[in-house]
């Protein structure tokens, strides 16, 4: 099949009819024998460009600033830093500096023989996701839950209050401007904050300082959403353990054509346990789209239900539960989400080496880009320059999922593709 490699970077436009059906998804033909056989070329959509090569730490989250600075985060582990900035084609460095990435007391501690994540509020422990708001603030979501004993029997210890936090960094001064920690009735010991979006408009909350919508993807506990009022620092939950946020039992996805079971070292064969994993706001911030990692279904809820602090309304939970919408299947499991200035909702599809778009006008998923280099697109971020940037980290080959054997091969990648129809970063939710 060597002939295929010739086509990997070719530009195949993907034309979608008004009914959403792609008519020009291309395949190619290999004239190896006398018969000209049609072959899936593995590609469609805009040209994919290689932007950065990760040779050191395997990345998770990505965010691109107004001036094109690229930030990555890395869950850890044993890594020296968990928040980094890309400095050239093949290297990143600790951001804002190594000191803030190095909790003096270590990443975890033990109380009566039970491991807990660090409760350090002023240093980064394990940053899972990053986001740049249009005012050029970098937001980092620290789970406070590092992986420990990575080489023997990996454990993700419970969080200690103070460790899990949302931090804001001013990209002009490169200094932390805000830190939000969470009370124990909002962030549980086994919560795991996984993704974040913002509506900074003054009318989004009564206090006028904007709101953060955060995913709790807890493998062991209660999946749901955590909201933070960015002016008052108050936080609350919604949709805890609503079926739309729960993992799908016994999910067996396929990656690169291989059926996938979860194989942790020293443990019986299992399945991915991850529920609610990705989210994206609609263009005007009135709808939040989301799905569990292990589900083919896309869900949404009007954000008005999530913005109600349940302390002020005894029916708040019930109203949110009653207003979840099932938007149907989308053609596979989805991992991260992204959104653009036209309201396109991008969904990262690790089973297809592709990114799909949910089009709320068509009520359908449509294809955007596909490429054999997209081996687990972990997160994506729309840049101010009209490109979608994505982190590729080969996650299904990581040791924690493969009996302790690390099948990943450097480099990891940042890829980018031009957005459709001149779309760019949305500045509506400023």
Ligand X SMILES: *[C@@H]1O[C@H](CO)[C@@H](O)[C@H](O)[C@H]1NC(C)=O
Contact footprint for ligand X (CB under 6 A) = 12-13, 18, 24, 26, 28-29, 56, 80, 87-88, 90-91, 93, 115, 135, 137, 149, 152-153, 155, 170, 172-173, 201, 203-204, 284, 342-344, 359, 361-362
The answer to whether 179 and 254 are in contact (CB under 8 A) is no
Task: Decide: 108 and 144 in contact? Cβ < 8 Å.
Answer: no
Length of the chain measured in residues: 430
Assess contact for 378 and 255: CB atoms under 8 A: no
Long-range CB pairs of 8-14, under 8 A, 24+ apart, other chains included: 8/42, 8/43, 8/371, 8/372, 8/373, 9/47, 9/48, 10/41, 10/43, 11/46, 11/47, 12/41, 12/43, 12/44, 12/45, 13/45, 13/46, 14/44, 14/45, 14/367, 14/368, 14/369
> Of 323 and 359, which has the nearer Cβ to ligand X?
359
Nearer to ligand X, 291 or 344 (CB): 344
Q: In whole angstroms, how close is the CB of 155 to ligand X at the nearest point?
A: 4
The nearest distance, CB 342 to ligand X, in angstroms, is: 5
> What residue has token string 């980064």?
124
Nearer to ligand X, 26 or 241 (CB): 26
Report, in Å, the least distance between residue 259 CB and ligand X.
30
* CB closer to ligand X, 115 vs 411: 115
Closest separation between CB of residue 172 and ligand X, Å? 4
Which CB atom, from 12 or from 74, has the smaller least distance to ligand X? 12
CA proximity to 97, closest of 110, 111, 84: 84
Sign for the CA dihedral angle at 194, 387, 347, 285 comes to: positive
Smallest gap from residue 8 Cβ to ligand X (A)? 14
Please, what is the minimum distance in Å from the beta carbon of residue 224 to ligand X?
21
Closest to ligand X by CB, 5 or 361: 361
């Amino acid at each position: 099949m060597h002939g295929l490699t010739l086509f990997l970077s070719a530009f195949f436009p993907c034309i979608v009819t008004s009914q959403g059906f792609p008519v020009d998804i291309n395949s190619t033909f290999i004239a190896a024998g006398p018969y000209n056989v049609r072959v899936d070329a593995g590609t469609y959509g805009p040209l994919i460009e290689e932007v950065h090569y990760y040779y050191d730490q395997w990345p998770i989250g990505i965010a691109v600033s107004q001036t094109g600075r690229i930030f990555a985060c890395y869950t850890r582990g044993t890594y020296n830093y968990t928040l980094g900035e890309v400095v050239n084609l093949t290297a990143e460095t600790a951001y804002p500096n190594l000191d803030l990435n190095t909790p003096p007391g270590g990443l975890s501690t033990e109380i009566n023989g039970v491991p807990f994540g660090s409760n350090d509020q002023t240093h980064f422990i394990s940053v899972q996701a990053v986001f740049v708001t249009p005012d050029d603030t970098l937001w980092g979501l620290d789970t406070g839950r590092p992986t420990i004993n990575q080489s023997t029997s990996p454990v993700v210890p419970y969080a200690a209050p103070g460790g899990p936090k949302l931090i804001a960094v001013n990209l002009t001064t490169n200094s932390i401007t805000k830190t939000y920690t969470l009370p124990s009735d909002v962030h549980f010991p086994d919560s795991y904050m996984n993704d974040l979006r913002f509506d900074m408009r003054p009318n989004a909350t009564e206090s006028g300082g904007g709101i953060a919508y955060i995913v709790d993807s807890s493998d062991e506990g209660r999946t749901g959403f955590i909201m933070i009022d960015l002016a008052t620092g108050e936080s609350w939950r919604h949709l805890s353990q609503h079926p739309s946020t729960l993992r799908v039992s016994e999910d067996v996805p396929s990656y690169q054509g291989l059926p996938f079971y979860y194989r942790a070292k020293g443990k019986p064969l299992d399945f991915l346990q991850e529920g609610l994993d990705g989210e994206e706001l609609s263009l005007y911030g009135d709808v939040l789209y989301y799905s569990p990692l292990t589900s083919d279904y896309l869900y949404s809820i009007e954000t008005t239900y999530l913005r109600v602090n349940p302390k002020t309304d005894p029916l708040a939970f019930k109203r949110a539960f009653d207003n979840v919408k099932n938007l149907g299947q989308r053609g596979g499991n989805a991992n991260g989400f992204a959104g653009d200035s036209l309201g396109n909702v991008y969904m990262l599809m690790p089973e297809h080496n592709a990114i799909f778009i949910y089009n709320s006008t068509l009520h359908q998923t449509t294809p955007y880009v596909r490429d054999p280099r997209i081996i687990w697109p972990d997160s994506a971020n729309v840049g101010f320059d009209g490109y979608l940037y994505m982190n590729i980290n080969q996650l299904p080959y990581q040791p924690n999922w493969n009996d302790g054997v690390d099948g990943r091969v450097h480099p990891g990648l940042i890829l980018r593709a031009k957005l459709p129809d001149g779309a760019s970063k949305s500045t509506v939710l400023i």
